[in-house]
């Protein structure tokens, strides 16, 4: 399935999309996507896990967080913020 279809028409073409992070599991990627969307950056996840039926399949390729190329720099900055100790 083309990634642009996942975006429901918010993207002009697949050429506008950039992978900004890869995680070992879909739940980790979902957290990253939530952080990006909270910051106003539209994001999607591409993960080959047979539509969620076989989550172990994602371990071979990981779950990739994808954004528009215009948002890539800001997205990487958001995802690479480290937690401050309490």
29, pLDDT greater than 80: yes
Could you please state the CATH topology (level 3) that the domain comprising 3-79 is classified under: Alpha-Beta Plaits (3.30.70)
- pLDDT tens column, 57-69: 656 678 899 999 9
- Show Cβ contacts of residue 67 under 8 Å, excluding neighbours closer than 6 positions: 17, 18, 20, 36, 41, 42, 43, 44, 75
Query: φ, ψ for residue 68 (rounded to 5)?
Result: -65, 150
pTM for the predicted model, two decimal places: 0.72
| Max CA distance (Å), the chain | 43
C-alpha to C-alpha distance for 9 and 56, rounded to whole angstroms: 29
With cut-offs at 50, 70 and 90, classify the pLDDT of residue 48.
Answer: confident
Domain boundaries, the chain: 3-79
The overall average pLDDT reported for the chain is 79
Give the pLDDT score at 54. Answer: 66
């Amino acid at each position: 399935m083309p990634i642009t279809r996942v975006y429901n028409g918010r993207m002009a073409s697949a050429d506008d999309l950039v992978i900004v992070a890869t995680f070992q599991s879909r739940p980790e990627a979902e957290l990253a996507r939530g952080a990006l969307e909270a910051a106003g950056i539209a994001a999607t996840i591409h993960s080959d896990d047979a539509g969620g039926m076989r989550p172990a399949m994602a371990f071979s390729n990981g779950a990739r967080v994808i954004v528009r190329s215009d948002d890539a720099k800001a997205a990487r900055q958001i995802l690479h913020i480290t937690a401050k100790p309490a």
